[in-house]
Amino acid sequence: MKGLIFTEFLDFVAAVHGDDMVDDIIDDCRLPNGGAYTSVGTYDHAEMQALIAALAQRTRAPAPEILGRYGRHLFHRFVELFPGFFENRVCLFDFVESVEGYIHVEVHKLYPDAQFPSFKTHIRDSSRLEIDYRSCRPLAPLAEGLILGASDHFREPVSVDQRRHEDANGSFVRFVIRHL
């Protein structure tokens, strides 16, 4: 997992809970690198899971809720850090559908060793988008938070439901995004 996800997470925790909380969750996790992340480094996603679990323990908030709030925050940071990815995107559904074929391709040029989840449109009409999310990491709540952050950005209120599915290729999550 790219270090940018870690550095932004620690910045998110500091903004919401303070610098002491960042130190506390790093201490709780006993991370191999002591919590020293660089945005261009690559780290084991288990370290992110440990940090989320430590924050959940200390704040008594469910880990999926933390991941969702972080995903929403992260989307807004991506807009600031990578504005070119958001140009010429006129609506939420177009943007979400561009993640797999455009954004991940461009980010891969910057970070050749990055591993991305996959997104495949299942159904799209004027009011609903169903998209299948496959990942080797259990981060569907983070993806949902990113979708909600995109909803904020495009000023298109939506509801998002997650449904776990199985097929011959394994398990995946289908996000059902509906305009409100």
Is there a single domain that holds both residue 56 and residue 80? Answer: no
Residue 121: what pLDDT?
A: 94
If one counts every other C-beta atom within 10 angstroms of the C-beta of residue 22, the result is: 20
Is there a single domain that holds both residue 48 and residue 118? Answer: no
Domain count across the chain: 2
Residue 115: strand, helix, or coil:
coil
pTM over 0.85: yes
Amino acid at 145: G
Is there a single domain that holds both residue 33 and residue 114? Answer: no
Q: In which domain, by residue range, is 105 found?
A: 68-179
Distance CA 1, CA 158 (A): 28
Distance CA 128, CA 31 (A): 42
Arithmetic mean of pLDDT, 167-177? 95
Arithmetic mean of pLDDT, 45-63? 97
Is there a single domain that holds both residue 143 and residue 73? Answer: yes
